[in-house]
Each structure stands twice: as structure tokens, then as C-alpha cells.
Structure 1
Amino acid sequence: MSEQARLSEGDLAPDFSLPDADGKTVALSDFRGRSVVVYFYPAASTPGCTKEACDFRDSLAVLNDAGFDVLGISPDKPEKLVKFRDAEGLTFPLLADQDKSVMTAWGAFGEKQNYGRTVQGVIRSTFVVDPEGKIAKALYNVKATGHVDRLRKDLGV
């Protein structure tokens, strides 16, 4: 696999402005002064992505109480995100990165292994951005199942 840019702790988080499920623009800079968990997932309404999103939904109150907001980003169209949000009762913003430019800037799109083959795609990744906009935690190639519990343990919440 070829090298691709990856973010590390201490890096400035690349800012973005993306439409949410309702077409409203959400920018990372909107969260300055708060910590935010930004996670990238391949596709709404697929089994792994649904499990991960529901785990974030079920942990949202605890994360919010500890000062963490949550943003989910996928290459899906806003219309698909609406259906996903409504079907699963998701209460945090889902953002559409249809051209994958934000995913690429964060190192969450590129070459990955899929069933033994090298393919281009979304690299399931989670980041914690501190109140100053710097990467506090960068986790690449995370598993959909059990990931949120591990993240909560790492964050002490």
C-alpha cells in the first residue's frame, strides 16, 4: 500500500464545512471551545456502520456530559443520512462528504485491505479534537463493534 497522510496527536485538525442530513452547513470551527469526537464511516444503513452509530447514540449523553460532542461523516448524500438518522433515532449530526475531500484531508480515505485485496475506500477512523482544534487522539482502522466502549475507556468517561 502507498503512504497516505495521517493525522497524529498534536496536529491541527483540518477544518471543514459539510452539509448535515437536513442540508444545514456544519463546520468543525463551530465546536471551538469544546471537545468533539469526529468519526468517519463507509456507508449509512450498513450493518457495521449502523452498529457503530447506535453505539455512539447510546453513549451520547455520557459523552456530552463529559464535554464531548459527536459528528459522524460518510460519503453518503444528505437524503440517505436523513433515512439513516430517522430509522436509528440518531441524535448527533451526520455529515455528507460526497467528494471525500474531508476524509482525504484527515487520512480517512485511501488504500485499505478488504478481504485480502487492496482497494480505495473509507478507512473507518475516529478522532478526538480538543477545544483548541488540535487532534487529541487519532484512531485509524477501528472496528465497528466495541469501538465506542474502548473510546469511552480511553477518554475516562
Structure 2
Amino acid sequence: MDLSFEIKVVRGTDASPETVRFTDLLTGPTVVSVYMRNNTGSCDKQNDALVADWAEINAAGFNVVGVSRDTGGSHIRYAAKKGIGYPLVSDPEDLFATAADAVIDKKMYGRVFRGPLRSAWVLDASGKILAIIEKVDAKTHGAQVLAAVSAL
């Protein structure tokens, strides 16, 4: 999986967006949690569950990165609102999902469109896939991640 593309990232609640290569975010084993949009029901639940278990995930030796189509400005406000300390990536072109071959057909209000699979990817520092959570349960996402990293 080629993760050398450039993205914008917000690192914590008081940070400004910066442009980096995605690979620069892989400073160690990393969980990449993919969701569609900030401030939407299921995506909020997914991030709330991840925030609740973030310290335990870190204690297990894993970084966390959230990826959505939102802008860097939206991520700044969202991180502050939700208390998100892990980096949030702005990926409006679905570059991560494309690299992971995880762009799928979705349906909303009878309309079909392409978008990233709500998923989590456990990667080592080189970008090698260690585990994939293809069916994220928004309410228990943190526990799902902990189970995945504990199984490694």
C-alpha cells in the first residue's frame, strides 16, 4: 500500500492544519480509523468510543489517526468539541481509502455514491497492514481496536 501521498493533518485541539506525507504519521504502530464526516451521528459515536479508549490503545503501544473527508478547519473545531488529542487527517479525495482499496458504493436517501469504507487499519511504522477492522461498530469502536491490537 503506497501511503506517500500528501495530506493535511490537525494534531490535537490547539493545532493548525499542516501538510505532511501520510507516511510521516506512522511513527510507530498506528491505528487508522476511517469515517465519513465530523458532526454526524455514527461518526461522532465512533470517535467518542475511540477517545474513551485512546489512553489504553496508546498504553498498548499504538498511535491513533482519524481520517475523514472534512477540512482542516473543521477538524480543529471538531477536535476541540470532542476532546480529540490524536491527529485528524483531512482526506477529501479519499486517498487513504484508495490506497487501501477500500472505496465502496454507499447508499443514502436512495442515492448511490462512492465513499470510503468505515473501517480501521492497524499498520506498522512502514505501512504494512497488521490487522483490519472492516465492520466498525460505532458505539464500541475503541473496544474493537483494543481487541485487534491485543490479538497481535
Report the TM-score range of the alignment, normalised by the length of the smaller protein.
0.7 to 0.9
Alignment coverage as a number of residue pairs: 146
CA distance 1:36–1:99, shift in 2 (3 Å): same
| 2:5–2:95 contact (8 Å) kept in structure 1 | no
Residue 91 of structure 1: how far off its partner (Å) = 0.4
Residue 52 of structure 1: how far off its partner (Å) = 1.0
Counterpart of 1:94 in structure 2 is: 88
Residue 17 of structure 1: how far off its partner (Å) = 2.9
**Equivalent of residue 106 in structure 1, options 100, 106, 115:** 100
- List structure 1 runs of 4+ shifted beyond 6 angstroms: none
1:124 aligns with 2:113: no
User: Percent identical across equivalent pairs?
Assistant: 28
Q: TM-score, length-normalised on structure 1?
A: 0.80
Residue 101 of structure 1: how far off its partner (Å) = 2.3
| 2:8–2:18 contact (8 Å) kept in structure 1 | yes
CA distance 1:61–1:108, shift in 2 (3 Å): same
CA distance 1:36–1:75, shift in 2 (3 Å): same
Please, which runs of 5 or more residues in structure 2 have no aligned partner?
11-15
| 1:97–1:103 contact (8 Å) kept in structure 2 | no
Q: TM-score, length-normalised on structure 2?
A: 0.82
Please, which runs of 5 or more residues in structure 1 have no aligned partner?
1-11
| 1:111–1:120 contact (8 Å) kept in structure 2 | yes
Residue 147 of structure 1: how far off its partner (Å) = 2.4
Tell me the SS of whatever aligns to 1:25. Answer: strand
1:142 aligns with 2:139: no
User: How large is the Cα RMSD of the aligned pairs?
Assistant: 2.3
